Structure 1
Amino acid sequence: MIKAFRNYNPVNIIWLAVLLVVLRICYLFNTPDDVEFKMLEPFARSLVPLKYEHAVSLPVNMAVAGILVLIQAILLNYVVNFYNLLSKPSFLPALMYVVVSGLFTPFLTLSAPLICNFLVIWIVYKLLAFYKGTEVRSISYDLGMLVALSSLFYLPCIYFFVVIWAALLIFRPFDWRDWAASILGYLTVFFFLAVIYYLTDRIHTFYKIWLPLGTPFPEKISIHYLQYALLVPVAVILLLCLVQLRGNFFKSYVLIRKSFQLFLIMFLIGGLSFYVKVKFNLDHFLLCAVPVAIFFAYYFLYAAKRWFYESLFILLLAGIIFFQFNTF
């Protein structure tokens, strides 16, 4: 399977759709009675005066989520190939995104992090434009707005603001105006939100939006110990990718070297920002799906021993399907 997706063949989109169905249909046999869809944070909920939390049945919910994942996979694949991050075009980023976005059962339904991944992919596209852009203030402003918009859907996305500044450090010489532009972009969105709060006589509660950022970092997270087994092949692939990157580091183009440093920062920030939500949910880690998919794609594109990387990939797929049948 990996060998087929190493080629940039549009027919692979069909196989992507087939794999997506295979990885998700098993969950229908062991689904909960109801799943609540929270698209916006409570402070932005009034912007959409519709009752959508339980508007659709679970099969429809999963079908829509699957379609969104497929679209996101194709968009991510376009971004990676547009910037030539893997040195050769392929459909591996799309394949890996479909797989990673089905890793845990909470990933399979509609959620705010899933919606935010559209903005995350857009953010990645804009961040990489820092490398060759001569005038990046407008890009910084756009990125600030994108981070602000994503935090309306899911507040932990606010920490992607750090990724913007990390990208400025990695890709650009220091210019305070570039940094200030990102702040202005962020403030623009919340300025209009403040206007809405003022017009609805809620301006005195506006400061409460950022109170969750002061939540103490939890000492542990509640994941069933058997689910850690699914993270073993993920950790192995990530480790092998880092080894591969280290071996090719000085052979790669400057853009590739700097981009993967940025993706590592994005992965860490996306993962560690879970503490903002008082109630821990595994679907938060969908925010890590974009950088992880790119890391996976890099490894599987350059891995040499076919029997090993194909076996590792099949093991990962088997683990995903197994845990969909067993919720423990």
Structure 2
Amino acid sequence: MLLRIYRGIGPGTILVIFLSLVLVWLQTLLNPVESSLYYNTNPAPLYSLLINLFQGKPLAGILFTMVLVAATGIYLVNFNTRLFFINERTFLPASLYVLLSGYISSNQVLNPVLPASILLLFSVDRLIVSYRKPGIAYNLFDASMIIGIAALIYTNIIWFYLLIIIGISLFRSLNFREILISFIGLLTPFIILYAFYYLTCRDIGWLNNFFIDSIMTQIPDFYWSPVFILISTINLIILVISLLYLWSIFNTKKVRSRKIFSLLTWMLVLAVVVYFVIPAASAGLMYVFLIPLVYILTHYLVMVRNKKIANYVFAIIFLSVLFLQLSRAVVI
């Protein structure tokens, strides 16, 4: 019953998703505070514009973040509708994204990872549409440049340039020329930024140190409470089952769908690796992790034959977020 409501495509489902967004973010809306996260006190060049815009206005920053979550959900649905790699038109990717945006309460503030993750999704989209279209290497330049822009919002998104290299090998013939074009695209926003600093006589040394610190500074670890570990273990099992199911029917899918799911799987793996390997990577990477996650979960919930199991799985995900939000309310 619950799954049927959230996976629909009618106005009722849109209303439910909107209400879910408000409820998931209700605690944050009722208790707006200025974020003290590392990247809010040491913002990247482009993200500092947002910080200045919402400085002293925490509620406005939270509302803006909620709008970004809603916009990402809409784009996730549109992405599947256009490319049709899940074999069903459904609002379930948006539903899952909105619900899981409340999984880690510390992420429910104005933060750089969310806008950077949206740009990363744009980049992946730009890469995929180049499939079987010869002579449009500018798509690769654009896709890489978007990641470069995203890195000026959240520095550690730059590691996801590896997705472009992987994507070139998946969707095009891997050759040095296209890799070079993509790399130039990645560097372009940085070249423009450094040129701006040079022409305006700003401190380039500070900029160099900022980028180094944004990667190497050890930021406070996210606290994995016993309850959070238990709930996350259960949901990790669901993810593993969903992945195994996907790969069990992988060869029955169209070639482009297989390539898209392969790229999404790499995105999932990269998000985990960056979080655990890069000292300055934050729990905000959950917003990047959610992009492939919601597609993999949606595929399982839509395609699995036993609909009772699908309903149980969705109920577990729903109740996980509900419990985490309620436990946060008790603490507050």
User: Which interval holds the TM-score relative to the shorter structure?
Assistant: 0.7 to 0.9
- Equivalent in the alignment of 2:92: 92
- The answer for unaligned runs of 5 or more in structure 2 is none
Structure 1 residues 212, 51: closer, same or farther in 2, change over 3 A? closer
- Equivalent in the alignment of 1:251: 252
How far off its partner does 1:227 sit?
Answer: 1.1
How far off its partner does 1:14 sit?
Answer: 1.7
Post-superposition CA distance 1:125-149 (Å, at most 9, x none): 1121132322231011001111111
SS of 1:153 mapped into structure 2: coil
1:135 paired with 2:135, answer: yes
Structure 1 residues 50, 243: closer, same or farther in 2, change over 3 A? closer
Conserved? CA contact 2:44–2:155, under 8 Å? no
Say which is worse superposed, 268-277 or 236-245, in terms of deviation: 268-277
1:147 paired with 2:147, answer: yes
Structure 2: how far apart are the matches of 1:305 and 1:7? 18
1:176 paired with 2:176, answer: yes
Structure 1 residues 227, 32: closer, same or farther in 2, change over 3 A? farther
Say which is worse superposed, 100-109 or 136-145, in terms of deviation: 100-109
Structure 2: how far apart are the matches of 1:67 and 1:180? 36
Structure 1 residues 187, 50: closer, same or farther in 2, change over 3 A? same
Structure 1 residues 41, 128: closer, same or farther in 2, change over 3 A? farther
Say which is worse superposed, 314-323 or 160-169, in terms of deviation: 314-323
How far off its partner does 1:215 sit?
Answer: 3.0
Matched residue type, 1:246: W
Matched residue type, 2:107: F
- Equivalent in the alignment of 1:236: 237
Matched residue type, 1:76: L
Post-superposition CA distance 1:169-195 (Å, at most 9, x none): 111112222111111111211111011
Conserved? CA contact 2:73–2:93, under 8 Å? yes
Structure 1: how far apart are the matches of 2:147 and 2:305? 38
Conserved? CA contact 1:194–1:203, under 8 Å? yes
Conserved? CA contact 1:72–1:118, under 8 Å? yes
Structure 1 residues 174, 194: closer, same or farther in 2, change over 3 A? same
Structure 2: how far apart are the matches of 1:90 and 1:287? 21
- Equivalent in the alignment of 2:23: 22
Structure 1 residues 210, 49: closer, same or farther in 2, change over 3 A? closer
Structure 1: how far apart are the matches of 2:82 and 2:272? 26
- Equivalent in the alignment of 1:81: 81
- Equivalent in the alignment of 1:288: 289
CA RMSD of aligned residues (A): 2.8
Matched residue type, 1:264: T
How far off its partner does 1:46 sit?
Answer: 9.2
Structure 1 residues 216, 57: closer, same or farther in 2, change over 3 A? closer
SS of 1:55 mapped into structure 2: coil
1:115 paired with 2:139, answer: no
Structure 2: how far apart are the matches of 1:271 and 1:77? 24
Matched residue type, 2:242: C
Count matched residues: 325
Q: How does 1:189-200 map to 2 (within 5 A)?
A: 189-198=189-198, 199-200=200-201
Conserved? CA contact 2:7–2:95, under 8 Å? no
Q: TM-score, normalised by structure 2?
A: 0.87
- Equivalent in the alignment of 2:317: 316
Structure 1 residues 161, 49: closer, same or farther in 2, change over 3 A? closer
How far off its partner does 1:300 sit?
Answer: 0.8
Structure 1: how far apart are the matches of 2:253 and 2:201? 54
Structure 1 residues 52, 213: closer, same or farther in 2, change over 3 A? closer
SS of 1:323 mapped into structure 2: helix
Conserved? CA contact 1:69–1:101, under 8 Å? yes
Structure 1: how far apart are the matches of 2:255 and 2:283? 35
Conserved? CA contact 1:102–1:108, under 8 Å? yes
Conserved? CA contact 2:54–2:61, under 8 Å? no
SS of 2:193 mapped into structure 1: helix
Matched residue type, 1:123: S
Post-superposition CA distance 1:179-215 (Å, at most 9, x none): 1111111121111101122123323444334424763
Q: TM-score, normalised by structure 1?
A: 0.88
Structure 1 residues 133, 106: closer, same or farther in 2, change over 3 A? farther
Select the structure with the greater relative contact order (CA < 8 A; seq sep ≥ 6). 1
- Equivalent in the alignment of 1:269: 270
Structure 1: how far apart are the matches of 2:316 and 2:322? 10
